């Protein structure tokens, strides 16, 4: 199986709350799958909405790698400035409903899992990034599937989200 389905994907945390990657966001991420040795890691930020009346979240769009990002086969470093401009523009153009929700990047493995460096970076984001909730979401796009995690600001704990069936 290859990670080529552009369909929206929904994940669920232990409390039953949903985290949905919309069709457009999935389609863009799939374009960066590292399915050849020459392809470098790619990534960006997740932008989307909190659903009123519940704790569900939808990712409507993402940022993609920029010329200022640093990419290699096994590393991706997101340069802050251009991605922050995209976050600010999304917030302004949506009237304050499109939020920074977290980060995404690729791994050259079928069933991706975070590296030690990923976990360290995610905890730094939980500590230092400015965001409107108590959680950030982290997505890794592998060669065969997409996985997601939820990080908690107060405890710095990170839990893997399960795919909805």
pLDDT, one tens digit per residue, over 18-67 is 999 999 999 999 999 989 888 888 899 999 999 888 889 999 999 988 78
Secondary element (H or E) of residue 163: strand 162-163
pLDDT, one tens digit per residue, over 115-164 is 999 999 999 999 988 887 899 999 999 999 999 999 999 999 999 999 99
- The pLDDT value given to residue 1: 41
pLDDT, one tens digit per residue, over 78-98 is 777 877 888 889 889 988 888
Active centre residues (catalytic):
41
Confidence of residue 75 (pLDDT cuts 50, 70, 90): confident
Check whether 8 has a pLDDT greater than 60: yes
**Per-domain residue ranges of the chain:** 9-163
Check whether 74 has a pLDDT greater than 90: no
- The pLDDT value given to residue 96: 82
Q: Which CATH number fits domain 9-163: 3.40.50.970, 3.40.140.10, 3.60.20.30, 3.30.365.10?
A: 3.40.140.10
- The pLDDT value given to residue 165: 73
Check whether 4 has a pLDDT greater than 80: no
- The pLDDT value given to residue 5: 62
Own/partner contacts of 71-76, CB < 8 Å, gap of 24 or more, are: 71/40, 71/41, 71/42, 72/40, 72/41, 73/34, 73/37, 73/39, 73/40, 73/41, 73/108, 74/41, 74/108, 75/41, 75/117, 76/40, 76/41, 76/42, 76/43, 76/105, 76/106
- The pLDDT value given to residue 129: 85
Reduced to 3 states, what is the DSSP secondary structure of residue 106? strand
């Amino acid at each position: 199986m290859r990670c080529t389905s552009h369909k929206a994907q929904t994940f669920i945390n232990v409390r039953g709350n949903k985290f949905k990657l919309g069709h457009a966001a999935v389609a863009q991420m799939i374009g960066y799958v590292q399915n050849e040795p020459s392809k470098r890691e790619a990534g960006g930020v997740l932008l989307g909405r909190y659903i009123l009346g519940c704790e569900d979240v939808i990712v409507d769009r993402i940022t993609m790698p920029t010329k200022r990002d640093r990419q290699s086969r096994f590393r991706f470093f997101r340069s802050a400035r251009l991605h922050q401009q995209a976050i600010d523009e999304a917030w302004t153009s949506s009237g304050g409903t499109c939020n920074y929700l977290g980060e995404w990047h690729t791994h050259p493995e079928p069933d991706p899992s975070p590296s030690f460096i990923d976990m360290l970076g995610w905890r730094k984001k939980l500590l230092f990034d400015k965001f409107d909730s108590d959680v950030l979401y982290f997505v890794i796009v592998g060669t065969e599937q997409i996985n997601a995690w939820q990080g908690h600001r107060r405890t710095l704990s990170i839990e893997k989200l399960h795919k909805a069936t």
